[in-house]
């Protein structure tokens, strides 16, 4: 018996694969050729390229929020570990997407690029709460301001999303996020 084929997921995954090859210049024809479907089939699920970008961003944002809540509510891990885990969340899409190509979106899809950067700038309330808890518990070094930490992290993440830093370095997105978290927490947390 033939297994059910999730065409919508195949379209999204093919879109990401083609983005990794062609950047934002990818065409829906490339997507259809990769998974052997018609363009009409794509339009059954998505009205445009932008709609595919939007669903990837929506799913990425939802994943981050869900993981943040899950980590925050996990009483089996201490505050330092919660901060590290939250700061190093990398979504399944971020794992497979060539984030160095995101810089090209700034020129090709400026509105979407702005939406992407904005989406990453709003997910800091849980991190802020944890930094404030760390300050109240004496886990943060004296004089370390949680608001400044959030500004540093969000600024670095925006830089990673612009793709320029990653293009010029040997870092992957995941490695950059992990090293940023280590550096930040080693400097900010009391021993």
Is the pLDDT at 4 greater than 70, yes or no? no
Mean pLDDT of the chain: 90
Q: Is 179 helix (H, G, I), strand (E, B) or coil?
A: helix
pLDDT at position 2 is 45
What is the Cα–Cα distance from 164 to 142, expressed in whole angstroms? 34
Give 64-91 pLDDT, tens digit per residue. Answer: 999 999 999 999 999 999 999 999 999 9
**Tokens found for residue 146:** 């949680």
pLDDT at residue 159 in the model: 83
Distance CA 123, CA 8 (A): 27
**Alpha-carbon span 161 to 2, nearest angstrom:** 40
| 95 pLDDT higher than 50 | yes
Return the minimum-mean-pLDDT range out of 25-29, 119-123, 141-145: 119-123
Whole-angstrom Cα distance, residue 184 to residue 189?
A: 8
Give me the percent of the chain exceeding a pLDDT of 70.
97
> How far is the C-alpha of 94 from the C-alpha of 68, rounded, in Å?
16
Domains annotated for the chain, with CATH where assigned, are: 1-46 (1.10.10.60), 53-188 (1.10.357.10)
pLDDT of the residue at 168: 85
- Identify the band that residue 133 occupies on the pLDDT scale cut at 50, 70 and 90: very high
List the Cα angle 68/71/74 in 5-degree steps. Answer: 145
Predicted structure pTM score: 0.86
What's the pLDDT score for residue 114? 87
Please state the separation of Cα 2 from the chain's center in Å: 34
More confident residue, 125 or 31: 31
Identify the band that residue 1 occupies on the pLDDT scale cut at 50, 70 and 90: very low
């Amino acid at each position: 018996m033939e297994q059910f084929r999730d065409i919508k997921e195949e379209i999204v995954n093919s879109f990401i694969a083609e983005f990794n090859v062609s950047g934002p210049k990818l065409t829906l024809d490339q997507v259809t050729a990769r998974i052997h479907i018609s363009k009409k089939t794509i339009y059954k699920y998505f009205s445009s390229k932008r709609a595919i970008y939007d669903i990837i961003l929506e799913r990425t944002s939802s994943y981050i929020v869900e993981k943040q809540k899950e980590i925050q509510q996990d009483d089996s891990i201490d505050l330092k570990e919660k901060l590290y885990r939250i700061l190093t969340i990398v979504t399944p899409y971020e794992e497979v997407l060539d984030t160095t190509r995101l810089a090209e979106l700034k020129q090709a899809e400026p509105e979407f690029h702005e939406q992407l950067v904005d989406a990453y700038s709003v997910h800091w309330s849980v991190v802020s709460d944890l930094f404030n808890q760390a300050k109240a518990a004496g886990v943060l070094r004296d004089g370390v301001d949680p608001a400044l930490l959030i500004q540093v992290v969000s600024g670095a993440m925006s830089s990673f999303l612009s793709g320029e830093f990653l293009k010029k370095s040997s870092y992957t997105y995941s490695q950059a996020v992990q090293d940023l978290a280590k550096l930040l927490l080693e400097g900010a947390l009391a021993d």
